[in-house]
Amino acid sequence: MIFSSELIKGTLKTIVLKLLADNKKMYGYEMTQRVKELTGERIQLTEGALYPTLHALEEEGMVTTELEYIGKRVRKYYKLSAAGKGRTKERVNELADFMETMKLLLDIQPKTA
Amino acid sequence: MYCITDEQIEYILSDIRRNGVDTEDLQLNLLDHICCIIEQELKVDDDFERFYHATVKRFYRRELREIEEETINLLTYKNFYAMRKVLIACGAFSVFAFISGSVFKFMYWQGASALLTLGIGSFSLLFLPLLFLLKAREAKAASDKFVAALGCAVGAMFSIAILFIVQHWPGANMLLFSSIAIAAFVLLPAYFFTGIRKPEARMNTIVVSIILVGVIGLQFTLVNLRPSRSQQKIKMDNYVQGELLLKQLQATPGSKDAAAIDALCEQVKALVLEHSIGQRSIPADYEQTQLLLKEGSLGPEFANNGSGVQLLENLRQAFGKYTAAGGNADLQQIVSRSILRTDPGEMEKIYSNLSVLESINQLQTHLALAEHSKAVAVK
């Protein structure tokens, strides 16, 4: 089963930040492939959501970029900035807490119903 | 792995551009991404174009430019928060600077005018335009944007008019009148008719419109409080009477020093009159010609080291010399209570044309009296 894009939307920034924390530098296509691989193709990052998020993270100063020229095309690598490293920890912890709470919430609901 | 050619890269890039992606950064990102997919997934014998179009379709729901729109949305959404912070900081600063400037002015402390200019300046040129940008984003209809723009522009104009009034800068009245007129005849109808059409905003629109009418009306009443023509005529008559009295007193010629002071006084009065009525003296038939000396500013000669400032400085020195030489303590006290106690460069900000004319007349009258008593004593 592939997770819906609504579920992924709220966690996309955290996924990208965590990917960059675990890998020195990555480009867009590489990220989509890595996520597919790590989740057994259950999470597929769409290009329409990934690139706006990457641009927003760059604007916020969470990531820095590096260009690599491959013939006629340019590859843009993303790296975590110092601020981004701090933010990654916060966001990962927040998401972990959120998942715990959701577990609790969703376990309780059938009993009360 | 499929080997992508330069022509194919060009083809993809121009297709991305044609589909409305204008941000260069995003174009390059998408290009590299598509190239990667093609290199990984396309078989050597497959049709490039068909595969490319099938691939790029996965990127969007309706059209490719959605990605660009989403990017811009995310970026401006972030700016939106930054702008709101700047708006609040700027508003708080403006109000603080303006109020402390008013207190400084009230207490005659240094820096009042800088604080007022800074406060009102940042309020009208930074705070209000920022407010408009934020409101314009929230507004959906073009008419709502227009009302927001007009409201902020009138607000800015009104606050700048107030700044001009307190700083005695030229053109203050014109600015104030124009902003009140635009508020009454353009802003108010535009606001009322755009708001009244929306059922959910109807009550609010009516209440705010009434408040606006009230504020504009009050402003107009304030502007209208200027003295009537008959009151101004009485003031002018008083001044002319004073002049006549002075002429009678001056019938007996005084000392050379006194004559020099009188000459300076006449020059100052001539300069003030020239600015006020366009003539260097009040003609005898002023009543027939309905010439009116209105109370107003001193004129540009009395600011920024103009000829009037120089004349007043000379007059102050001449009086100082006269009273010191004659040992006339009474006259010395009279001078120290007259407009000459003020720094000539500051007079334009403090006194009106009439108050300077009257004060100089009084000084001349006292001088003539002093000369008269000197002559009597000699006899």
Smallest CA–CA distance, residue B210 to chain A, in Å, is 45
Interface test with A, best of B8, B12, B71 (most A CBs within 10 A): B71
The answer to whether residue B320 sits within a structural domain is: yes
Q: Of B224, B243, B269, which closes a domain?
A: B224
The 10s digit of each residue's pLDDT in B160-212 is 999 988 887 878 888 988 999 999 999 999 999 988 888 878 899 999 999 99
Q: Of B196, B224, B252, which closes a domain?
A: B224
Chain A environment of B70 (Cβ under 8 Å): 48-49, 52
CB contact (8 A) between residue A76 and residue B59: no
Kindly state whether residues B76 and B215 are assigned to the same domain.
Answer: yes
Kindly state whether residues B36 and B156 are assigned to the same domain.
Answer: no
Instruction: Report pTM.
Output: 0.48
Q: Of B224, B254, B284, which closes a domain?
A: B224
Q: How many domains does chain A have?
A: 1
Per-residue confidence band for A36, with pLDDT thresholds at 50, 70 and 90 = very high
Whole-number CA gyration radius for chain A = 16
Which secondary structure element, helix H or strand E, spans residue A68, and what is its range? strand A63-70
User: Which domain range does residue A10 map to?
Assistant: 5-112
User: Which domain range does residue B206 map to?
Assistant: 72-224
Least CB-CB distance to B32: which of A46, A55, A75?
A: A75
Kindly state whether residues B43 and B100 are assigned to the same domain.
Answer: no
pLDDT score of B151: 93
Kindly state whether residues B296 and B208 are assigned to the same domain.
Answer: no
pLDDT score of B225: 62
What CA–CA distance (Å, rounded) separates B149 from B128? 9
Kindly state whether residues B181 and B302 are assigned to the same domain.
Answer: no
Kindly state whether residues B76 and B210 are assigned to the same domain.
Answer: yes
Which of A22-26, B70-74, B375-379 has the largest mean confidence?
A22-26
Kindly state whether residues B346 and B359 are assigned to the same domain.
Answer: yes
How much of chain A exceeds pLDDT 70, in percent? 94
Which secondary structure element, helix H or strand E, spans residue A109, and what is its range? helix A82-112
The 10s digit of each residue's pLDDT in B313-334 is 999 888 888 888 876 778 888 8
The answer to whether residue B33 sits within a structural domain is: yes
Kindly state whether residues B79 and B208 are assigned to the same domain.
Answer: yes
CB contact (8 A) between residue A27 and residue B32: yes
Please check the confidence at residue A90 and state whether its pLDDT lies above 50: yes
Please check the confidence at residue A62 and state whether its pLDDT lies above 50: yes
The answer to whether residue B287 sits within a structural domain is: yes
Please check the confidence at residue B137 and state whether its pLDDT lies above 90: no
pLDDT score of B185: 93
Least CB-CB distance to B32: which of A55, A56, A74?
A: A74
Chain B environment of A53 (Cβ under 8 Å): 74
Per-residue confidence band for B360, with pLDDT thresholds at 50, 70 and 90 = very high
Average pLDDT over residues B103-116: 88
The answer to whether residue B153 sits within a structural domain is: yes
CB contact (8 A) between residue B32 and residue A73: yes
Please check the confidence at residue B230 and state whether its pLDDT lies above 60: yes
Average pLDDT over residues B234-242: 90
The CATH number covering residue A38 comes to 1.10.10.10
pLDDT score of A113: 42
Please check the confidence at residue B55 and state whether its pLDDT lies above 70: yes
pLDDT score of B202: 87
Stretch among B47-56, B149-158, B215-224, B271-280 having the lowest mean pLDDT: B215-224
pLDDT score of B224: 61
Nearest chain B residue to A60 by CA distance is B78
* Cα distances (Å, whole numbers) of residue B361 to B166, B313, B338, B346, B350: 28, 17, 11, 20, 18
Per-residue confidence band for A23, with pLDDT thresholds at 50, 70 and 90 = very high
Q: How many domains does chain B have?
A: 3
CB contact (8 A) between residue A59 and residue B32: no
Smallest CA–CA distance, residue A49 to chain B, in Å, is 7
Kindly state whether residues B265 and B365 are assigned to the same domain.
Answer: yes
Kindly state whether residues B179 and B272 are assigned to the same domain.
Answer: no
